Amino acid sequence: MIGDFWVHPSLILILGALLLPLVPARLKRGWLLLVPLLVFARIWTMSKGDFGAVFFLDWVLTFGRVDALSHVFGYIMGLMCVVATLYGLHVKEDAQHIAAWVYVAGSLGVIYAGDLLTLFVFWELMALSSVFLIWFRRRPQSLGAGFRYLLVHLTGGVALLAGIILHSQATGGNLAFTTFDVAHPTPAAWLILIGFILNAAVPPLHAWLPDAYGEATFNGSIFLCAFTTKTAVYALCRGFPGMEILVPLGVAMALYGVVYAVLENDCRRLLAYHIISQVGYMVAGVGLGTQMAINGACAHAFAHILYKGLLFMGCGAVLHMTGESKFTALGGLWKKMPWTFVFTLIGGLSISAFPLFSGFVSKSMIVAAGFEQHRLWVGFLLMLASVGTFLHTGLKVPYFIWFGKSHCQPETWERAKEPPWNMTAAMVIASVLCIFIGCYTPYLYQLLPDPQAAQAFHPYTSYHLSETLQLLLFTAVGFFLLLKKLEPTPTISLDLDSFYRTGGRAFLWLARKPVPFVDNCVGEIYRALGLVPLMLTSRLVGVFDNRVIDGVVDGFASTIRGVGSRLRAAQRGSVQENLTLVFAVGILLILALLYLF
Amino acid sequence: MKLARLIEFLRNRLKTVVRVCLALLALLVLLDAIPGLVDKEPAHTTAEHFPGFWSLFGFIGCGVLIIVSKWFGHAGIMQREDYYDR
């Protein structure tokens, strides 16, 4: 706090982004490093409590709720902002950095929001800024992917807003973002939940994720993979811990991502499907709702941001250097990019929860929470998803990019080399952190919402080590035995986005074919049934008008003329003479009447 | 580039590397079977007490995932790359 004014980390980022175009070119790299470091330092030094209360209309908006839950998410997001900006340091276009920073500012705004209205504003800011990270790829298909991403997120935003309005009405204007009644959720809570799980990419609301993340810029994906889904996980942890439906949904998404990853030919889309899979663990953890499960969800989100960032950095480096991200256009790159291979492998081992890597100390908490509640199906199915994770991210990605048969075009092979120093440095930092978290558990466990319960959890037991090593290494045996089946093919896999993608095409077809047809038919019917009788009637009316009306009028006129000419003949002299005659006749008539009666 | 040379060194001795790996795998299952070494107390089902249970789970799980996913993919999910452009 500076005086009474609480400096929101998002404010630093937004100001930094706005000033970026004004910074001289030679200082730009320094600025790009300084601003995220300042943000991270600000997050690090923030004391706990409620800050930044603003009175707006009838509401009190809280911009800064700092507690254990928001701190752990804010901390890792601040850290990732530093690493991801470093990774894209050499990108010359200011707008790309501005979009990324505003996006991070949106995420941090959501994390520290104490009320639902503030949350909603930052929630939309995230969607509106992150879409530029897709559009800046500037491929013809990027535009469509960006619009689809935006439309899906704005739809989710509408559900969220509707929920917030209903919730506000039901609570008499209380917008505080606290835990909802998960045992008896109101329609408002359901709508808010839909808004949250859409951002968490829970099937069937998930297809935007691989569609967008596979199409983003090489460095935009690093931001995308870290912030949107994890902000949603935070919101679920805060609002819906123990919500039963999240357990089956989480387990289903953990497996769903794995199945699609088998079929995927694009390495970044494969990683995107594994985000769905990994977020599935977190969603299931939130659904389990115990102390250990919530700790596990937060720990896994923390570890995930780093290792998934690292994996996207590895594949992003391959894309940036070679221009290719498809397995059918890569292979055998170990000679050209061996260090990138090592970093990606570290990411792969971390996501697979290999001992001494970060996933080992985080994922196991959620699985253990499932087993502890005696929900064996949760535990075993999540273990099965772990098999799939190692199969793809630990084995398939490194094997088909750096080993296997080379499918590289000569120019791809020529272009391939280790990435610039800043990209390598970002990968080194992420790799070191992945290993550090895996080896020194107190670092992560102290940050969790319930540090005492977390410290009591010991991942490095002989049983857990033996279990994990067996599971993963025998997966590797299966991988090499079934290698032929996994050979990449130049295909895409239809997901639920095809409903709205082909739905859009169906709409265009509708507009081009049946709508004009119906329009023609209606025109024809109108002509046949409306216009023709109308003309006929008007012709009859014309005849009637000519013959009858005109005849009558003409008849009247000639009659009046005849009567007139007769009257003219009756007129004999001056007016006085006539009047005298009329009066005389009148008087005579009156006298005759008087005499008679 | 030293790292590339190390990878090349290992690739040139692929058979030996594979043999060492297989030996390690066998050792892993053997160690799992020694009660004094691997305490099975945290196990939640009786099946987990079976030595090498998780090896089998990993191996079969891997096969099932690949085969089921491929079957699913060939059931109409995998399409030509220009599917949406046509």
DSSP string covering chain B: -HHHHHHHHHHHTHHHHHHHHHHHHHHHHHHHT-TTTS--TT--SGGGGSTTHHHHHHHHHHHHHHHHHHHHIIIIIEEETTTTT-
Contact A335 B68 (CB under 8 A): no
Chain B interface test: which of A266, A473, A482 (most B C-beta within 10 Å): A473
B28 in a structural domain: yes
Q: Is the peptide bond before A204 cis (omega within 30 degrees of 0)?
A: yes
B19 in any annotated domain: yes
Q: How many domains does chain B have?
A: 2
The parts of chain B modelled with pLDDT lower than 70 are: 1
Give the residue from A169, A166, A173 showing the smallest Cα distance to A190.
A166
Same domain as B37, residue B8: yes
Q: How many C-beta atoms surround the C-beta of residue A493 within 10 A?
A: 23
Does B30 reach chain A within 8 Å, measured CB to CB?
A: no
A334 vs B4, B42, B60: nearest CB = B4
Distance between terminal CA atoms of chain A?
Answer: 121
* Residues B56 and B76 both lie in one domain: yes
Structure tokens, A415: 């272009």
What burial class does residue B42 get, using C-beta atoms within 10 Å of its C-beta: 0-12 exposed, 13-18 middle, 19+ buried? middle
d(CA A125, CA A103) in angstroms, rounded, equals 7
Q: Is residue B61 part of a domain?
A: yes
Question: Do B56 and A464 count as a contact with CB atoms less than 8 A apart?
Answer: no
B29 with B66, same domain: the answer is no
Distance between first and last Cα of chain B: 46
Residues B60 and B28 in one domain: no
* Domain membership flag for residue B71: yes
- Decide if B47 is inside a domain: no
Give the Cα separation of A506 and A193 in Å (integer): 30
Considering CB atoms only, which of B62, B79, B84 is closest to A387? B62
Q: Are residues B3 and B37 in the same domain?
A: yes
Residues of A within 8 A of B76 (CB-CB) are: 494
Which residues in chain B touch residue A461, judged by CB atoms under 8 angstroms apart? 39, 42
Task: Report which residue type is found at A474.
Answer: F
* A339 contacts B29? CB cut-off 8 A: no
A interface mutation test: which of B2, B56, B66 has the most A CBs within 10 A? B66
Whether residues B2 and B33 fall in one domain: yes
Positions in chain A short of pLDDT 70: 1-4, 569-573
Q: What residue in B sits closest to A264 (Cα-Cα)?
A: B78
- How far off is chain B from A337, nearest CA to CA, in Å? 8
ipTM of this complex:
0.93
Asked whether the beta carbons of A9 and A108 are under 8 A apart, the reply is yes
Chain A contact present for B59, CB below 8 A: yes
What pLDDT sits at residue A1?
41
Yes or no: say if A1 and A7 are a contact pair by the CB < 8 Å rule: yes
Determine contact: B20 vs chain A, CB below 8 A.
no
How close B12 comes to chain A (CA, Å)?
13
Residues B56 and B20 placed together within one structural domain of the fold: no
Q: Do A470 and B28 touch (CB under 8 A)?
A: yes
Residues B31 and B57 reside in one and the same domain: no
Contacts of A494 in chain B (CB under 8 A): 76-79, 83
Considering the domain architecture, whether residues B38 and B58 belong to the same structural domain is answered as no
Please, where are the H alpha helices in A28-67? 28-45
- The verdict on B42 touching A (C-beta cutoff 8 Å) is yes
Q: Is residue B31 domain-shared with residue B63, that is, in the same domain? A: no
Predicted pLDDT of residue A2: 44
Q: Quote the pTM value.
A: 0.86
Cβ pair B77:A467 closer than 8 A: no
Q: Does one domain contain both B60 and B38?
A: no
What's the gap in Å between the CA of A485 and the closest CA on chain B? 8
Kind and range of the H or E element at A482? none
Nearest-CB residue to B81 (from A376, A475, A492): A492
Parent domain of B16: 1-42
Residue B36 shares a structural domain with residue B62: no
Of B29, B61, B76, the CB nearest to A387: B61
| Residue B20: exposure state from Cβ atoms within 10 A (0-12, 13-18, ≥19) | exposed
B3 at the A interface (CB within 8 A)? yes
Number of C-beta neighbours around residue A578 at 10 A: 13
**Which residues in chain A are closer than 8 Å to B41, comparing Cβ atoms?**
463
Question: Which of A384, A474, A489 is the closest to B59 by Cβ?
Answer: A474
- Answer yes or no: are the C-beta atoms of A113 and A59 closer than 8 Å: no
| B-chain residue closest to A140, CA distance | B85
On whether any CB of chain A is under 8 Å from the CB of B29, the answer is yes
